[in-house]
Amino acid sequence: MSTLRELTKEELLAPGHRMCAGCPVPTLVRMTLKALRGPTVIVNATGCLEVATSIYPYTAWRLPWVHVAFENAAAVASGIEAGFKALMRKGRWDQKVDVIALGGDGGTFDIGLQALSGALERGHDFLYICYDNEAYMNTGIQRSGSTTFGAATTTSPPGAKIPGKREWKKDLIGIAVAHDIPYAATASVAFWKDCIAKVRKGIEVDGPAVIHAITPCPRGWRHEPSESIKVARLAVQTRFFPLYEVENGKYRITLPVPNPLPVEEFLKTQGRFRHLFKPENRWMIEAIQRWVDKNYERLVKLSQL
């Protein structure tokens, strides 16, 4: 696949779901579903995507889909993959079925991490995609292990006591790669070609694959619904969210950013960072810039190994 024309016109996520206006998660899902190569089962952890696409008695999913708890998406995906394998071994099934698990950052970085680690360690052949809106959005914008340092959330409100979230974002891909899996990558909804190619690769590799996709949330990030894709693009152009992949341990930056914009350009698009622009908080912007620079340098070094 190299042009838009070559993509299937089939939409396996039906319109009419109840995701918020401007939410890029359905866009990510539509891209994902255009990368399929055959029969596929979707495993969906509790989160915005699940609650808003499966409001009883309706469903927006036009392929087999199972809702699982917040914490066990990867465990259920493992079970489905192992189940099909067993049926094939017994001669009761003869077609490869791909399994894709989808979870938010809360379900992935925090509560589902144990199940994900177990599934990666056991080597199940499935793709795990984390859509990262950097908080527990569907329950009221609580901070998660993925929320950026300094961000305002309902559980890290900036004020006299704290200047926003005090901890740094976890390195999900680093954790996944430490399991020695065949494929891991980051993706942004603003770069569809890169995103679809990575999903396809993740499906095709034999063994576990993990994709970490940045999906700006107009409600929680406090930006205009029409700006989500622009924000997702700025995340990459400022090197805040570099696009790279790790194939069998080999790092490659898939979209190098030789002349990055300052991270401020990304931060200032969002109300959740408004307080950082007060003179007494500017040190936090500088700290985020240092974090961004260090991370990108690290990725450049790793990709030269």
**Site for ligand TPP, rule CB under 6 A:** 46-49, 70-71, 103-107, 111, 133, 136-139, 144
Question: For ligand TPP, which is the closer residue by CB, 107 or 202?
Answer: 107
| Complex with ligand TPP: residue 68 or 246, whichever CB lies closer | 68
Measured CA to CA, the distance from residue 107 to residue 44 in angstroms comes to 10
Q: Smallest distance, Å, CB 142 to ligand TPP?
A: 7
In angstroms, what is the minimal distance from the CB of 216 to ligand TPP?
12
Half-sphere exposure of residue 192, counting CA atoms within 13 Å on the CB side? 17
Q: At what angle do helices 73-89 and 113-122 cross, to 10 degrees?
A: 30
User: No. of H helices and E strands in the chain?
Assistant: 11, 8
Cβ contact 239:257 at 8 Å: yes
State the Cα–Cα distance between residues 245 and 204, nearest whole angstrom: 14
Provide the token pair at 184.
């891991």
Q: Measured from the CB of residue 249, what is the shortest distance to ligand TPP in angstroms?
A: 28
Q: Which is nearer to ligand TPP, 49 or 181 (CB)?
A: 49
Q: Quick one: 70 or 244, whose CB is closer to ligand TPP? A: 70
| Residues 193, 135: Cα–Cα separation, whole Å | 26
Q: Smallest gap, in angstroms, from Cβ of residue 39 to ligand TPP?
A: 26
39, 33, 44: which is closest to 10 by C-alpha? 33
Distance CA 62, CA 83 (A): 22
The CB-of-228 to ligand TPP minimum distance in angstroms stands at 14
In the complex with ligand TPP, which residue's Cβ is closer, 8 or 154?
154
Task: Indicate the residue among 81 and 105 with the shorter CB distance to ligand TPP.
Answer: 105
* 254 alpha-carbon distance from chain centroid: 16
Tell me the closest approach of the beta carbon of residue 43 to ligand TPP, in angstroms. Answer: 14
Instruction: Give residue number: closest CB to ligand TPP.
Output: 104
Which helix (H) or strand (E) covers residue 98, if one does? strand 98-104
